[in-house]
C-alpha cells in the first residue's frame, strides 16, 4: 500500500480516484483540487476540513476550525501559514 499523502490535507492517496484529476501524479487529493486540476486555496481547504470535522463528529465550528488549522500547519503545502 502506498504511503503517499496529500500535501494539503494529509489524506492518504492510494487509488487514482482519490487523487486530483484521477491521477496519482499530483501531490494533492481530489478534495483539495479545483475543477481545473489546480490546488485549492488555504481558506478553501480550511473550510472543507472544518466542515468534514463537523459532519463526521458534530464538533463546534470554532473548535473544528482551530483543529483543522493545527492539522494543516503540519502539512507541506501550508507550513508557511503557521
Angle among Cα 14, 20, 26 to the nearest 5 degrees reads 75
The nearer residue to other proteins, 27 or 71, going by C-beta atoms, is: 71
Distances (CA, A) of 38 to 3, 31, 47, 70: 22, 11, 17, 23
**Chain residues that interact with other proteins, rule: CB under 8 A:** 1, 10-12, 14, 52-59, 66-68, 70-71, 73-74
The nearer residue to other proteins, 38 or 44, going by C-beta atoms, is: 44
- Least distance from other proteins to the Cβ atom of residue 26, Å: 19
Amino acid at each position: 500500500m502506498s504511503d503517499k499523502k496529500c500535501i494539503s490535507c494529509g489524506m492518504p492517496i492510494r487509488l487514482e480516484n482519490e487523487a486530483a484529476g484521477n491521477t496519482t501524479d499530483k501531490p494533492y487529493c481530489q478534495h483539495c483540487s479545483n475543477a481545473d486540476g489546480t490546488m485549492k486555496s488555504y481558506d478553501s481547504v480550511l473550510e472543507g476540513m472544518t466542515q468534514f470535522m463537523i459532519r463526521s463528529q458534530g464538533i463546534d465550528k470554532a473548535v473544528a476550525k482551530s483543529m483543522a488549522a493545527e492539522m494543516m500547519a503540519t502539512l507541506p503545502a501550508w507550513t508557511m501559514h503557521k
